[in-house]
Amino acid sequence: MSLVTAAIALCLIVSVGDGDSLSARCGAEPVQRVRIAAIDAPELRQAYGAKARAHLARLCLRQQARVTAQGHDKYGRLLAQVSCRGRDAADEQVVAGLAWVHPSQAGTHPALARAAVRARQTKVGLWAQKRPLAPWTYRQRHPHPTYR
């Protein structure tokens, strides 16, 4: 079942790009790049970037995932809510302190925003740093063509 035409699909996660993006094969359709909605994980060159990717890979890589399409981003990636092993990938990344809730999404995802506050208060993951740098700020300071 194509994610272009279906809102929800069961897919196989074939690769993990970073802490908030992966590639999924849904049925006989070509592999699609998927951006996990509502979160933004550190870039791979940032502190905790590799840890965020590894955490997402442990949860989702080579697993069947429920992918709920929510649109596309400016790079053409599918924006989606992704569940692997029955767990929401965005929630898992935020609770582990390995992703921010994107400021534009906090109001529409209040439970996720509360989880982010708890992670920050308990200094888990990237919140253990003295001054964690948000990935959107990092991308502004370090423009690079691969940040898509």
pLDDT at 108: 94
What pLDDT, in 10s, does the model give residues 5-46? 558 899 999 999 999 999 999 989 999 999 999 999 999 999
What pLDDT, in 10s, does the model give residues 64-75? 999 999 999 988
Residues 6+ apart with CB under 8 A from 73: 35, 79
**What pTM value is reported for the model?**
0.92
Dihedral (Cα; 12, 15, 19, 20), 10-degree rounding: -50
Give the H/E segment covering residue 110.
helix 110-121
pLDDT at 145: 63
Segment 90-112 shows an average pLDDT of 96
Instruction: Choose, from 25, 29, 33, 35, the residue flagged as catalytic.
Output: 35
Mean pLDDT estimate for the chain: 93
What pLDDT, in 10s, does the model give residues 127-139? 999 999 999 999 9
What token pair was written down for 73? 């981003």
pLDDT at 143: 86
29 labelled catalytic = no
Instruction: Choose, from 33, 58, 77, 114, the residue flagged as catalytic.
Output: 77
Q: Which domains does the chain have, with CATH numbers?
A: 8-140 (2.40.50.90)
User: Where in the chain does DSSP place strands (E)?
Assistant: 8-18, 21-25, 32-36, 39-40, 64-72, 78-84, 87-88, 100-101
Instruction: Choose, from 43, 45, 58, 66, the residue flagged as catalytic.
Output: 43
35 labelled catalytic = yes
